Amino acid sequence: MTDTCWMPDCGRPANSGLRPELPSLCSAHGLEIARHFRAEILAEEQARLAALAQRRSDRDVAAQGNVGGRPLVYYARIGNYIKIGYSTHLHDRLRSLRADELLAIEPGGYELEQERHRQFGADRIDERRENFRGSDDLLRHVLAMREKYGLPMWATRPRTSVIRTRKATP
């Protein structure tokens, strides 16, 4: 005996045996359902690929240390505090700051920098400067950004790093 299509009022012979756990459908209804889900799956896949491409782009910018001039918000340790700033030429900026250590970076410019200043405002040492205490919240954020975006390759090579290590002042 041949199975008939599972769809109501169809009665056409079903293509059985392909996926026994699913209802049997005729060719016409099988194609109709496949077209519907294909469009839905394609839209989801396109969105996933676009998000992946953006993350890769952000990660590439971070790995290059914004050599291309895209702004980065950076978190640098200078003595006993953390400076939150932004730059389009991070390597040069860190050299001019004489930072002890580059802690993390994230893609973004002035607006994101200001948002981070507000976010960690309770930890700010001086309202006229961009220096912050290393609170638990700030350090958690720094670790999350470092995990998400990594560090520029030049900042992770011990002998070629622009960042010079010096002892923190008490």
If you average pLDDT over residues 111-120, what whole number do you get?
A: 95
Q: For 126-163, what is each residue's pLDDT tens digit? A: 888 889 999 999 999 999 999 888 887 766 654 444 44
If you average pLDDT over residues 52-81, what whole number do you get?
A: 72
CA dist 86 and 112 (Å) reads 9
Q: Which residues pair with 132 in a beta bridge?
A: 82, 124
Q: For 93-114, what is each residue's pLDDT tens digit? A: 888 888 888 999 998 899 999 9
Contact 82, 146 (CB under 8 A): no
- Residue 64's pLDDT is 55
Q: b/e string for 103-128 if b means 16 or more Cβ within 10 A?
A: bbbbbbeeebbeebbeebeebbeeee
If you average pLDDT over residues 30-55, what whole number do you get?
A: 80
How far CA 76 is from CA of 1, 25, 84, 97, 146, in Å, comes to 75, 62, 7, 9, 12
* Token pair in block for residue 78: 């200078």
